[in-house]
Amino acid sequence: MIKESVYFSFLNALLISDKHRCAAIIHEQLENGINIREIYINIFQRAMHRIGKMWEQGKISIIEEHVATEIVSWLIDSISPGEPITAAGQSAVITCVDKEFHSLGARIVSHIFEINGWRTEYLGANTPSRKLNNFLKRKNPDVLAISFTFYMNYIRLLQLLQVISEQFPQLPVIYGGQACTAELVTRIAADYPMAIYINSIEDLELFLRSFTAKPGA
C-alpha cells in the first residue's frame, strides 16, 4: 500500500517540476515491492486528478500542468515492463477518440494489457475515426479499447462506435475514462451492445482474465 507521505512527496515534487525526485520516489516504491498498478492508480492517476483540480481553481498554471503530464508520461513508460518480444497472446488496439488529447489513461490501459500478456498497439491521442479502418483491418486485433476523458467529445465517441459497429461488427470493444457518465453508458448499451463499459483498472483485469479463459480464444 502506498503511504500518504509518499503520495504527497511525489505530488510536491511534481508541482515543482522536479523530475528526478519524482523518479527517485517511484523507483524506491518499486524496490520496496509496491505493485505497479498501485503506482499507476494511487500515485500517477491520483496526482494528475489533483493537478487538474488545482489548475481548475487557478492554483497552478497550464505550464505546470503540462510539465507534470510530461513527467508522469515519461515515468509510466519508463517503469512499465513492456510487451514481451515473443508475445504470442491476444492483441489489442488502444486509442483515444478523435480530438481527445488526454492520453495518459489510455497509456496506462495499454500497459495493463501488456502486463496481462497481450500484444498492444497504442495509438495515443486524437485518432481520426475514419482513418482507423485500414489500421484495424491490417492488425485484426482481438479487442479495441477506447479512452474518453473530455465530455465535449461524446459525439465523437458515438461516431467511432457507429463506424466500428458497421465495419467490424464482430470486434469486441471496451471503453472507459472519466467522461463516461451513467447517462452516456446507458445510451451506448442500447445503441451499441457490442461495446462494454469498464470503469476501473481492476475491472479491466477481470475482463482480460475472463476473455483469455474463453474456449477457442
Continuous H helices in 57-103: 62-79
Q: Phi, psi at residue 96, to the nearest 5°?
A: -95, 160
Among 6, 11, 44, 141, binds ligand B12 (CB under 6 A): 44
Smaller CB separation from ligand B12, 193 or 215: 193
User: Is 127 near ligand B12 (CB under 6 A)?
Assistant: no
The maximal CA–CA distance of the chain, rounded, in angstroms, is: 53
Contact region with ligand B12 (CB under 6 A), list: 77-85, 127-135, 154-162, 171-179: 171-179
The residue count for the chain: 217
Among 12, 17, 45, 212, binds ligand B12 (CB under 6 A): 45
Site for ligand B12 in 133-152 (CB under 6 A): 145-147, 149-151
Cell of 200: 476501473
Contact region with ligand B12 (CB under 6 A), list: 19-27, 80-88, 102-110, 114-122: 102-110
User: Is 65 near ligand B12 (CB under 6 A)?
Assistant: yes
Q: Phi, psi at residue 88, to the nearest 5°?
A: -120, 5
Q: How far apart are CA 148 and CA 127, in angstroms?
A: 11
Q: How far apart are CA 181 and CA 115, in angstroms?
A: 28
- The bridge status of strand 195-197 relative to strand 173-176 is parallel
Site for ligand B12 in 10-39 (CB under 6 A): none
Q: How far apart are CA 85 and CA 209, in angstroms?
A: 21
Among 11, 14, 25, 48, binds ligand B12 (CB under 6 A): 48
Residue spans of beta strands (DSSP E) within the chain: 91-96, 119-122, 143-147, 173-176, 195-197
Work out how close the CB of 201 gets to ligand B12 at its nearest, in angstroms, rounded to a whole number.
5
Distances (CA, A) of 39 to 50, 106, 148, 212: 15, 16, 22, 25
Smaller CB separation from ligand B12, 6 or 174: 174
Smaller CB separation from ligand B12, 162 or 216: 162
DSSP tag of 142: S
Among 104, 132, 136, 160, binds ligand B12 (CB under 6 A): 104
Cell of 204: 479491466
**Residue in the shown chain whose Cβ atom is closest to ligand B12:** 52
Work out how close the CB of 4 gets to ligand B12 at its nearest, in angstroms, rounded to a whole number.
19
- Give the interface with ligand B12 as residue ranges (CB under 6 A): 40-41, 44-45, 48-49, 51-53, 55-56, 65-66, 69, 99-106, 108-109, 125, 145-147, 149-151, 174-179, 198, 201, 204
